[in-house]
Every structure is written in C-alpha cells, then in structure tokens.
C-alpha cells in the first residue's frame, strides 16, 4: 500500500496540472480569451489532449462573440476614443487567429479562423488621427500646460501608428513647447580678494538630480547657446562684511615658589630658590562675519519670478595671551595661549568658504521649493 502512495500523488498532481493547462478554469471564470490561449498552448504540445480540445470548441467562439460585442458597443457609444477600443478588441481577435494558424490540432477543430488585421489597422489609423487632431488643437493654444497634454496624445498616436514620421515630428515640437528650459548661471562673486578656489557650488547638478523632470530641463549657458531660455537662475554673492566684534581682557596674577632664581658665588655654586611672579592677560575676541547673497529666477521677458536674499553668518572665537613677568609662574594649561597672537581679519578666504557653503545650502533648498513646490 505504501508503494502506491507516491504514484497516487503523482497521478493527482498530473490531473490538477491538466485542468490548469487546458484552460478549463479560465473558461469557468468567464475569461474566454485566456481559456482559448491556454487550450491552444496545450494542444501545440499535446495535439491529442481531449480536455483542451473540448475547451477550445467552446472558448474560441465565446471569445470572438465577446470581442465583437465590445466592438459593437464601442461603435454605438460615441466615445471620442472608441477606435482605441476597436484596436484593442481586433488585436485580441487577431492574436487568437494567429495562434490557431500555428496550431495544426486547433485548425482541425476550429477550421480557418477569421482574421481582422485590416479592421485593426483601419481602427488604428482613425484612433491616431483623433489623437493627432486633439494634440494640434492644444498646441495651437500656445500654453505650456496644453502642450504637455498634447505630448500624451501624440505618444498614444505613435503607439497606434509607429511608422508615421509626421507624428514624431509633431511630438518633438510638442516636447519643445511643453518643456521649461532653465539656464543656471555660474555663481557670481563680487567680493574683493575672494574666489571660488575650494568652492564647488554644484547648483546645476543638484537641480538636475532633484528637480529635473520630463518637462523641466536645466542647462549651463554654453549648452543653450544661441537659444532663448524660458528662465535664468542667477546667484550673486555680493558682500562679506564684519557684522560685529567683541573684545575682552582678563588679567590674572600667578606665582610659583621654590623656583631657581640664581646661584651662589660659592665653589661649587649652589642654586638659589625663590618665588617667581607673572601677570597674564588673556585676550578673548569674537568676530561675526556675514555673507550677503541674492538669488533671482528671471523669466524670458525679464519678470522676476523669485527674489530671495540670504545672510550667512560665521562666528570666530579667538583667545591668546600676553605676559608681564616670569613665564615659569604661569600654569602649564595656560602656557599654549602665549604661543598665539592676535588674529588677522576674519574677512578672509576661509570665512568666505564657510559662509558660502551655508549659503549654497539655502540656495539649493529655495530653488528646489520653487521648482518642486
């Protein structure tokens, strides 16, 4: 009995697979098209498969009748895009006919299937013409949003008529009208002594990566040379100035005992110990530098679409010390301050780079909000 169990399992699995492959389940669900395709597939590999033959005899006529009914309803509907329904249904009928043609066992059951290739092609021509006419009307309005809608119609028309070169010409024109072309000018720096050494604003790359889309393109001035952009992004770093400076001094007295302050004249000489003193003045200075930057987005006709002013601050804290007296009296933790000197001006390249980096973060954020609200 145990030996029969594996064979019984295999038999049941084969029965289940047979039911699935024959298209019977799809037919019971009312999917006559799928049932026909499954039955045809099985008959190609197993021409004598009885269950698939039974399914095909019923499923194919039902699939044809279903599609013809859908075609009739579409023709009666008055739907603007009814021809696309016809293309779809005629395509399904032709798919079944083509599969029957390459399945000898099926032709023996069905006979010669009816082809609808001419009807499908005619419906595709009418459907493409409707889409092209709608696109032409939209493009004639001159509005960018209308051109974007026209692009969708023309792409559908091309799918219906892939060999029509005129449609591709129209699509190129529509894409040009639908797309906003933006030139990103290099960051302008008008601060004496400052340059872009060590500074990579990468605003263009940022916008291409984060804001660029199908109908939005960003260019360098060279890439769009000779063509008029729809918009221009201008970023101008105008001024780096000292906003405020605070200075304070703190004096501290220090003394240290048992320090060698000399030697006796005896032979041999002996160290003379004493107390050394020192007055340490600790200088603390806080300098705040600000960078002023403007961001403009200008339209083709010169209108200011975006006008922003950014202020980036950098605070530099400096500490150094001066001494009157004996350095040996100074605690070790304060001695490094004696090696420092009063700082040079805070308005230098280092400060510029620090404030410029923060400014570009704000510029990128603002332009991204403008183009992706």
Question: What does the alpha-carbon distance between residue 370 and residue 211 come to, in Å, rounded to a whole number?
Answer: 9
Question: What does the alpha-carbon distance between residue 22 and residue 44 come to, in Å, rounded to a whole number?
Answer: 11
Specify the pTM.
0.71
- Per-residue confidence (pLDDT) for residue 128, from 0 to 100: 98
Question: What does the alpha-carbon distance between residue 368 and residue 194 come to, in Å, rounded to a whole number?
Answer: 27
Question: What does the alpha-carbon distance between residue 176 and residue 178 come to, in Å, rounded to a whole number?
Answer: 6
Residue with tokens 């041999």: 268
Secondary structure (DSSP) of 166-204: HHHHHHHHHHHHHSEEEEEPPPEE--TT---TT----HH
pLDDT beneath 50: ranges in the chain: 1-20
| Pairing verdict, β 271-299 and 180-184 | unpaired
Residue with tokens 């160290």: 271
Tokens (6 digits) for 186: 């290099």
Specify the long-range contacts of residues 92-97, CB closer than 8 Å, at least 24 apart.
92/33, 92/63, 92/67, 93/63, 93/64, 93/67, 93/68, 94/120, 95/37, 96/33, 96/36, 96/37, 96/40, 96/60, 96/63, 96/64
- Phi, psi angles (nearest 5°) of residue 323: -130, 140
74-111: pLDDT as tens digits: 999 989 999 999 999 999 999 999 999 999 999 999 99
Half-sphere exposure of 259 (CA within 13 A, CB side): 13
Question: Residue 281 forms beta bridges with which residues?
Answer: 251, 322
Question: Domain boundaries in the chain?
Answer: 20-115, 124-178, 184-371
Q: Residue 51 is inside which H or E element, if any?
A: helix 50-77
Q: CA 75, 79, 81: angle at the middle one, nearest 5?
A: 95
Question: What does the alpha-carbon distance between residue 153 and residue 139 come to, in Å, rounded to a whole number?
Answer: 11
- Per-residue confidence (pLDDT) for residue 302, from 0 to 100: 95
Question: What does the alpha-carbon distance between residue 81 and residue 90 come to, in Å, rounded to a whole number?
Answer: 15
19-67: pLDDT as tens digits: 446 689 999 999 999 999 999 999 999 999 999 999 999 999 999 999 9
Helices 117-140, 82-101: inter-axial angle, 10-degree rounding: 150
Q: Is 319 helix (H, G, I), strand (E, B) or coil?
A: strand
Helices 32-45, 82-101: inter-axial angle, 10-degree rounding: 20
């Amino acid at each position: 009995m145990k030996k029969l169990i594996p064979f019984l399992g295999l038999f049941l699995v084969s029965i289940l697979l047979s039911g699935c492959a024959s298209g019977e389940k799809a037919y019971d669900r009312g999917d006559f098209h799928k049932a026909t395709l499954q039955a045809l597939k099985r008959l190609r590999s197993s021409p004598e498969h009885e269950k698939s033959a039974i399914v095909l005899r019923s499923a194919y006529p039902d699939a044809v009748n279903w599609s013809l009914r859908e075609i009739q309803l579409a023709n009666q509907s008055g739907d603007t895009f009814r021809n696309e329904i016809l293309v779809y249904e005629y395509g399904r009928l032709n798919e079944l006919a083509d599969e029957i043609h390459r399945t000898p066992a099926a032709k023996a059951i069905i006979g010669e299937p009816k082809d609808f290739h001419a009807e499908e092609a005619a419906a595709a021509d009418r459907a493409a013409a409707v889409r092209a006419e709608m696109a032409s009307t939209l493009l004639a309005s001159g509005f960018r949003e209308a051109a974007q809608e026209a692009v969708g119609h023309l792409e559908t028309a091309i799918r219906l008529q892939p060999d029509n070169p005129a449609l591709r010409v129209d699509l190129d024109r529509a894409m040009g009208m639908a797309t906003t072309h933006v030139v990103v000018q290099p960051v302008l720096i008008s601060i004496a002594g400052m340059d872009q050494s060590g500074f990579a604003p990468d605003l263009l790359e940022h916008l291409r990566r984060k804001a660029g889309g199908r109908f939005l393109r960003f260019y360098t001035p060279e890439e769009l040379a000779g063509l008029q952009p729809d918009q221009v992004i201008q970023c101008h770093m105008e001024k780096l100035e000292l906003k405020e400076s605070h200075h304070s001094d703190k004096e501290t007295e220090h003394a240290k005992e048992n320090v060698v302050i000399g030697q006796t004249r005896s032979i041999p000489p002996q160290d003379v110990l004493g107390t050394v003193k020192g007055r340490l003045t600790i200088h603390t200075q806080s300098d705040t530098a600000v960078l002023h930057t403007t961001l403009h987005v200008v339209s083709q006709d010169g209108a200011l679409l975006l006008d922003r002013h950014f202020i980036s601050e950098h605070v530099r804290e400096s500490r150094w010390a001066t001494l009157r007296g004996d350095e040996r009296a100074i605690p070790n933790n304060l001695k490094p301050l004696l090696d420092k000197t009063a700082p040079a001006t805070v308005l230098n390249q280092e400060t510029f780079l620090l404030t410029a980096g923060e400014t570009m973060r704000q510029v990128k954020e603002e332009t991204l909000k403008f183009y992706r609200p």
